[in-house]
Amino acid sequence: MTAPASDPKRAIEAVFRIESPRLIAGLARIVRDVGLAEELAQEALVAALEKWPESGVPDNPGAWLMATAKNRAIDELRRGKRLERKHEELGHDMDAERDDPVTAVEDAIDDDIGDDLLRLIFTSCHPVLPTEARVALTLRLLGGLTTPEIARAFLVPEPTIAQRIVRAKRTLAEAHVPFEVPRGPELAPRLASVLEVIYLVFNEGYSATAGDDWMRPALCEDALRLGRIVAALAPREAEVHGLVALMEIQASRARARRGPSGEPILLLEQDRGRWDQMLIRRGLDALERAEALGGAPGPYALQGAIAACHARARTAAETDWARIVGLYGALAELTPSPIVELNRAVALGMLMGPAAGLAIVDGLRTEPALARYHLLPSVRGDLLMKLGRLAEARVEFERAATLTQNERERALLLGRAAACAQRES
């Protein structure tokens, strides 16, 4: 029994994108090599591309792909003369009387697919890899993105992304990184690496660092999906729920963040009626789950709480800036950073007036980490403009425009500089 498909190739690619993380995760636990696991999954895709256009898409395409991938895995183990060794490794968990190694491999692939996905996430985000490689590999193996798609998303040449992925898989193999969920004292730093990768992907979609687009919604969606998967697989980890809360609430503003021509609309100027209330509810629920787990809130939970303050305010004027200032203070104690201080300055300026915010910003002007950070002069320009110091504000907006690599943001900053010039004259 097969389901008819008017465009089999498109259907196959859509199914594979959904099923590939599960395929790779199940295979990686057996072959203990994510690179080989991906190759085997790709072979299953090739088989589908050959057969489905004629036979039709199966009623259960995921099961078909898994069965095909299993056969490829067994063949690979036989070719590499490793089947007996793998069978021995698995044997202590199996019936001692079972003498069929093929059945053993099949059973092992079928078991604990949720755990396998979690293992794959921790492996793809292993700290042995540089950050850029972790991001690329995670999007490839768990996001189901092709190399060209990743390259387009991050405005990086395709060969560069391809090299990052190849090197990442080679590094994992050479370092003999175990395909497992870390336990005990290893869990916290490894989980932090996973969450860092997910949030980096989200941020690149939410505020693109370069290019012609202010946002890249597909990346936000990929990050949200990954965050939700980790939250479902690790429900007792408060910071996972904190990150999901932060991303859900920020994503709720997507429709309001861009004007008719794609131009940026800043937070306090957005039409809050266009915020996605379903995403806000999901974010607030995730924040409640994080808080219910107890303990001191981590950096993502604190940022999620800040986002919640904006989400709960029906108008910009109703924003609880005192709570936001306090939350940024707690975040600064937990993870000291000049960027956190810059954000606290913005909040303090809203609470106590622009002069209070400017005092903090002026103290950050010598921070080496902010020397090329366009938001420092952008924030300073905004505070100066509110104080009526228009000539100084114009210079700051112009400087910020030279530092950003995003064309939409550059146009916004130059527009603010021009507005200052008009008011001066």
DSSP string, 268-284: GGS-GGGS-HHHHHHHH
Where are the chain's structural domains?
Answer: 1-111
Cross-strand bridge partners of residue 210: 405
Contact 191, 234 (CB under 8 A): yes
Task: Check residue 342 and give its pLDDT.
Answer: 97
Please give the Cα distance from 38 to 162 (Å, whole number): 14
Contact 299, 307 (CB under 8 A): no
Task: Check residue 262 and give its pLDDT.
Answer: 86
Please give the Cα distance from 142 to 117 (Å, whole number): 8
Cβ neighbours, 10 Å, residue 422: 10
Cα 390 from chain centroid? 38
| Cβ-proximal residues to 397 (8 Å cutoff; 6+ apart), any chain | 377, 378, 381, 413, 414, 416, 417, 420
Residue 227 in tokens: 């965050």
Please give the DSSP secondary-structure letter assigned to residue 264: B
Task: Check residue 284 and give its pLDDT.
Answer: 98
Task: Check residue 247 and give its pLDDT.
Answer: 97
Task: Enter the pTM of the model.
Answer: 0.80
Task: Check residue 80 and give its pLDDT.
Answer: 63
Task: Check residue 218 and give its pLDDT.
Answer: 84
> Euclidean distance between the first and final Cα of the chain, in Å?
76
Find, among 133, 129, 144, 227, the residue nearest to 177 by Cα. Answer: 129
Residues of the chain predicted below pLDDT 70: 1-7, 80-114
Residue 425 in tokens: 């004259």
Residue 290 in tokens: 């994080």
3 state SS of 2: strand
